[in-house]
């Protein structure tokens, strides 16, 4: 029976074309390989494209084809740099299960059947790539938080506000024509006997049509719960007091409305933040263990337990979970010197790959930024010429300006991302050298991050704690003749 595969070929420069990396040469090599290995090529994806060009049309088409045809799980490609153009590609292809990537010229097949060493190297690349992309997302989030710290809300504005240019031309948040209605909603709810529905109907009768839509009970509910109207705002769970937007109501009015709502509608209490909430799963029902704080006997202090509320006897103490991770995972990933040399070799390769990723992403963002700037400029011209009304102008300008701000933040962070990636590579190398010692110096939040880096989906059945490690470390353990299907169950817990 013939195996089914897709063929992927690409050149990234005229020089490569002249040096024998041409599309016809690649296709000839791959088709000969397929013939000699009983493989049927069912689709071909070919693109002459540079790494600097935004996007890869045929690469994305190939991914769609693989998703649509799960029986096709082989990609034939000349060598590594033909398919893995940047760090994101490692992560994207790793999401496909049972996929085989045949690197014909390098005589390698990356799959579940690869050698331990090949899996180790590939796993390191995927791990570092994921870590880089996660860190980049974190940096972009920090950029938005910096904007928040200056008092500027970095997202779409609630009803009652709009972005406009001040006398100096700088954009600011101003009250819109809906602001008086917002104040009325709070005052009427506090002084009258209203439900969300009845108040929504009364406001509609008074002419309140937010964003040209009918005022409904959900609209009223969202307004009454939004503290933004007092002159502060929340972003990603953080409360910012020094906001630059004007208040519509007083904090006192907002608090009184909240008290009245609490008396009418039951509000769930906020949960305490525990380090490993949602991290450990029950082996019997698959649900996450829920944290509980319990007082120790004879002044022995408080303890945090993680318990399954569906299954009896599934309880583990937080400090014992941490000890298990320390003894049964970290102590087994202190690798000998030859591993560090391999990590350094892979790191050098990926640092070059990261440069291409950053350059490609910046080109894509630069294109988006220029398009948005042109749109905003043309929108203003159309408004001056009377081609769009004021409401359409304001709505589209707010939408495009917010998107422009976010892309500008992303552009700046990617431009400065190289140092962060090199640092993350160094951290991974240091982790492999002295993981247990490094772990003991960390806060609980940092310990959780380390656990996320090294293992996935820890499971507890009441007696045994199973902590599977991620592929890169799993492959490394195999090279050291350590059990690779995760860490062996611990002895029975108290």
Residue 33: give its domain's CATH number.
3.40.50.1390
Q: Scanning the structure block, which residue is given the tokens 């002249």?
A: 18
Do 134 and 217 fall within a single domain?
no
pLDDT at 485 over 60: no
Crossing angle, helix 179-191 and helix 251-264, to 10 degrees? 50
Query: Residue 409 domain-assigned?
Result: yes
- Single out the residue of 357, 417, 461, 290 nearest to residue 87, CA to CA: 357
What's the predicted TM-score (pTM) here?
0.41
What is the structure's pLDDT at 102?
93
CA distance 307 to 290: 5
Helix runs in 96-178, H state only = 116-149
Last residue of a domain, one of 264, 289, 319: 264
Cβ contacts of residue 360 below 8 Å, gap of 6+?
Answer: 51, 52, 53, 54, 85, 86
Strands (E), 398-447: none
More confident residue, 30 or 137: 30
Mean pLDDT calculated for residue range 51-63? 70
Confidence bin at 39 (pLDDT 50/70/90): very high
Measure the CA dihedral 149/151/153/157, to 10°.
160
Query: Residue 318: inside a domain, yes or no?
Result: no
- Give domain status of residue 100, yes or no: yes
**Same domain (yes/no): 132, 202:** no
Q: How confident is the model at residue 455 (pLDDT cuts 50, 70, 90)?
A: confident
What phi and psi values does residue 455 have, to the nearest 5 degrees? -135, 170
Cβ–Cβ contacts within 10 Å for residue 107, how many? 8
- Using CA atoms, how far apart are residues 27 and 361, in angstroms rounded to an integer? 29
Flag the least confident range among 31-40, 247-256, 411-420.
Answer: 411-420
What's the pLDDT at 312? 86
Q: Which alpha helices (H) appear in 273-336, and where do they start and end? A: 318-328
Question: Does residue 459 form part of some domain?
Answer: no
Residue 473 domain-assigned (yes or no) = no
Q: Is 4 helix (H, G, I), strand (E, B) or coil?
A: strand
Residue 338 clears pLDDT 70, i.e. is over it: no
Residue 287 sits at φ, ψ, to 5 deg, of -85, 160
Q: For residue 207, is it within any domain?
A: yes
Is 109 in the same domain as 121?
A: no
Check whether residue 93 and residue 202 sit in a common domain.
no
pLDDT digits (tens, 9 = 90+) for 269-308: 545 678 888 889 999 998 889 888 887 665 556 788 999 9
Share of residues in the chain with pLDDT > 70 (%) = 73
pLDDT band at 228 (very low <50, low <70, confident <90, very high): very high
Give the domain extent around 372: 116-149+330-454
Contacting residues for 205 by C-beta, under 8 A, at least 6 apart: none
Statement: residue 154 has pLDDT above 90: no
pLDDT at residue 33 greater than cutoff 80: yes
Order the strands of the 281-282 sheet from edge to edge: 281-282, 459-460, 465-466
Residues 335 and 357 in one domain: yes
What is the per-residue burial (b if ≥16 Cβ within 10 Å, else e) of 198-230? ebbbbbbeeebebeeeebeeebbbebbebebbb
* Phi, psi of 152, rounded to the nearest 5 degrees: -105, 120
Domains identified in the chain, total number: 3
Q: Residue 122: is it exposed, middle or buried by C-beta count within 10 angstroms (0-12/13-18/19+)?
A: buried
Please write the tens of the pLDDT for every residue from 297-306: 655 567 889 9
Let me know if residue 306 belongs to a domain: no
Query: What does the DSSP 8-state code read for residue 329?
Result: T
Q: Is the pLDDT of residue 219 over 80?
A: yes
The structure tokens listed for 238 are 């953080």
Inside any domain, residue 75:
yes
Average pLDDT of the residues of the chain:
78
More confidently predicted of 162 and 341: 162
Cα separation values, 54 from 48, 81, 361, Å: 13, 17, 7
Distance separating alpha carbons of residues 423 and 131, to the nearest angstrom: 11
Are 341 and 447 found together in one domain?
yes
């Amino acid at each position: 029976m013939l195996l089914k595969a897709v063929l992927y070929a690409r050149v990234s420069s005229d020089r490569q074309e002249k040096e024998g990396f041409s599309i016809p040469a690649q296709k000839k090599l791959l088709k000969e390989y397929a013939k000699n290995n009983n493989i049927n090529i069912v689709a071909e994806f070919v693109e002459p494209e540079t790494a600097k060009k935004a996007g890869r049309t045929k690469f994305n088409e190939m991914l769609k084809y693989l998703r649509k045809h799960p029986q096709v799980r082989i990609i034939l490609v000349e060598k590594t740099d033909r398919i893995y153009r940047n760090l994101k590609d490692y992560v994207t292809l790793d999401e496909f299960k049972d996929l085989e990537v045949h690197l014909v010229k390098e005589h390698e097949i990356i799959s579940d059947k690869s050698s331990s060493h090949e899996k180790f190297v590939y796993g390191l690349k995927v791990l570092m790539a994921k870590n880089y992309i996660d860190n980049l997302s974190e940096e972009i989030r920090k950029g938005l938080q910096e904007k928040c710290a200056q008092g500027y809300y970095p997202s779409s504005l609630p009803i009652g506000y709009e972005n406009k240019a001040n006398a100096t031309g700088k954009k600011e948040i101003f009250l819109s024509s809906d602001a008086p209605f917002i104040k009325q909603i709070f005052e009427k709810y506090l002084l009258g006997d209203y439900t969300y529905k009845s108040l929504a109907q009364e406001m509609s009768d008074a002419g309140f049509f937010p964003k040209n839509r009918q005022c409904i009970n959900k609209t009223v509910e969202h307004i009454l719960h939004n503290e933004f109207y007092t002159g502060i705002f929340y972003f990603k769970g953080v409360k910012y007091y020094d906001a630059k937007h004007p208040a519509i109501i007083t904090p006192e009015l907002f608090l009184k409305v909240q008290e009245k709502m609490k008396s009418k509608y039951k509000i769930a209490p906020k949960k305490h933040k525990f380090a490993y909430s949602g991290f450990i799963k029950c082996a019997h029902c698959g649900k996450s263990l829920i944290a509980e704080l319990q007082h120790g006997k004879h002044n022995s202090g408080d303890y945090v337990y993680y318990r399954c509320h569906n299954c009896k006897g599934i309880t583990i103490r937080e400090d014992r979970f941490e000890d298990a991770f320390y003894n049964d995972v970290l102590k087994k990933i202190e690798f000998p010197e030859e591993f560090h040399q391999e990590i350094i070799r892979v790191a050098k390769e990926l640092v070059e790959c990261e440069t291409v990723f950053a350059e490609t992403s910046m080109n894509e963002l630069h294109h988006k930024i220029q398009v948005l700037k042109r749109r905003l400029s043309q929108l203003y011209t159309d408004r001056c010429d009377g081609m769009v009304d004021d409401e359409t102008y304001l709505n589209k300008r707010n939408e495009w300006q917010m998107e422009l701000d976010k892309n500008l933040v992303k552009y700046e962070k990617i431009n400065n991302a190289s140092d962060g990636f090199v640092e993350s590579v160094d951290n991974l190398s240091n982790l492999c050298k002295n993981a247990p010692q490094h772990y003991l110096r960390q806060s609980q939040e940092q310990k959780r991050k380390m656990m996320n880096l090294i293992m996935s989906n820890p499971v507890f059945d009441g007696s045994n704690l199973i902590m599977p490690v991620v592929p890169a470390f799993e492959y490394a353990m195999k090279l050291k003749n350590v059990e690779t299907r995760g860490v062996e169950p611990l002895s029975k817990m108290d």
